[in-house]
Amino acid sequence: MQTTQSVRTVGVEEEYLLVTPEGGTASVSPAVLRHAHLSRAARGATAEDDRPGGDVEKEFKQEQIEISTHPHESLADLLEDLRGRRRQADEAAQRAGARIAALGTSPHKVRPTTLPDRRAHEIRAHFGYTAGEQLTCGCHVHVSITDERDGVRIVDTLRPWAPVLMALSANSPSWQGRSTSYASYRSQVWGRWPTAGPTAPFGTPEEYHRVVEELLATGTILDDGMIYFDARLSARYPTVEVRVADVCLDAADAVLQAALVRGLADSPAVDQPRTELLRAASWRAGKDGVTGTLVHPLTGKPAPAAEVVGALVEHARPTLERLGDDELVDRLVGDVLLRGTGAVQQQSWRAQGATDDEVVRRATAVTVR
């Protein structure tokens, strides 16, 4: 448990697709980044700007960008910050003739363009089609830690619950212009990278770093920036970075991810499943989202998604109550289970007759509302 601070801070990173106002894809991230940086300079430096996060940043492809919030103790402040970052990113995109859409994958068939960046081209050359076809958008939650030992404990504690977090974020039912029958097909595409997905428990920082060093020694990945574990020690901040979620269509769903990660961080550990079983649970979460069955972390058996989500909330409830987050989490979970995740909303629009372009336009409207 955390002992040196009463409230852990949480922050969110989100990746967005860049799209045309009509709903197509837009390969304009260099221009968007220029406009974002000019806008930031025009606002002038403030004390708030010295905190981690707060920037619009490049991603791997020219059809996407990334934003990050500042770290916050208050979930209400986090939501306000995230909505503001979405608006700022969209304003920069509009100056480049585009918009942003919080979609885990594009509804369109896309041939994405690698960023004109040395490292990006090294990755493209080394990983071939896996890198060439990669165009997915995720949501990463950062939760503060007191030290690496605290961080590795959190990585291990979160491990059995990661598939449930993925299910609550599912927002990528399409791939290359086709319906996939998955709620999160992003999780399938992302899993192609050699270090992506669940890991075995680490136990200690020493073991964590030993595993990373041995992965680097294989020569399979270029550097430690390609450690794509579901949860990892951040190389930039004193945080654990949880990377399982699709980017959420609604900003409030991303705040729910942050609330649950923080709630689980100081909740008791449960029995650790073998990695093989956790991979199966992750696959099921990506397939069904919250509309089918999930593997229950406490039993290892299939159960209705709403029951498994409820078990996560109840497991974290003592921490949520201590932080005063329980009522908000209950409401946000209820919202997701009632209206569905972004994948459900996209599928509903399809059922109403929406074209690919219309799905993107509606997603843009929800992203920045």
Band (54; pLDDT cuts 50, 70, 90): confident
List pLDDT tens digits, range 203-212.
Answer: 999 999 999 9
pLDDT (tens digit per residue) in 170-205: 999 999 999 999 999 999 999 999 999 999 999 999
11-363 folds as Creatine Kinase; Chain A, domain 2 (3.30.590)
Q: Report residue 2's pLDDT band, with 50, 70 and 90 as the boundaries.
A: very low
Strand partners, 14: 67, 139
Nearest to 104 by CA among 15, 165, 22, 23: 15
pLDDT at residue 1, as a whole number: 39
DSSP 47: G
The CB-side HSE value for 184 (13 A sphere, CA atoms) comes to 33
Q: What residues contact 185, with CB distance under 8 A and at least 6 apart? A: 104, 105, 172, 173, 174, 175, 286
Better-scored residue on pLDDT, 232 or 42? 232
Residue 107: per-residue pLDDT: 97
Give tens-digit pLDDT for 256-286: 999 999 999 999 999 999 999 999 999 999 9
pLDDT over 90 percentage in the chain? 93
CB contact at 8 A, 169 and 153: no
| Phi, psi for 91 (deg, rounded to 5) | -65, -40
* pTM of the entire predicted model: 0.96
Model confidence at 6, pLDDT cuts 50, 70, 90, reads confident
Q: What is the DSSP letter of 273?
A: P
The stretch 297-304 carries a mean pLDDT of 98
The mean of the pLDDT values for the chain is 95
Q: How does residue 242 score in pLDDT terms, banded at 50, 70 and 90?
A: very high
Pairing, β 239-246 against β 231-233:
antiparallel
Q: What is the pLDDT of residues 314-364, one digit of tens each?
A: 999 999 999 999 999 999 999 999 999 999 999 999 999 999 999 999 999
Banded model confidence at residue 45, pLDDT cuts 50, 70, 90: low
How much is the pLDDT for 4?
A: 41
Q: Does the pLDDT at position 250 exceed 80?
A: yes
Q: Where are the domains of the chain?
A: 11-363
In this model, does residue 123 exceed pLDDT 60? yes
Residue 50's pLDDT is what? 67
What percent of the chain clears pLDDT 70, i.e. is strictly above it? 97
Q: At what angle do helices 75-95 and 29-43 cross, to 10 degrees?
A: 120
Pairing of strands 302-304, 178-179: unpaired
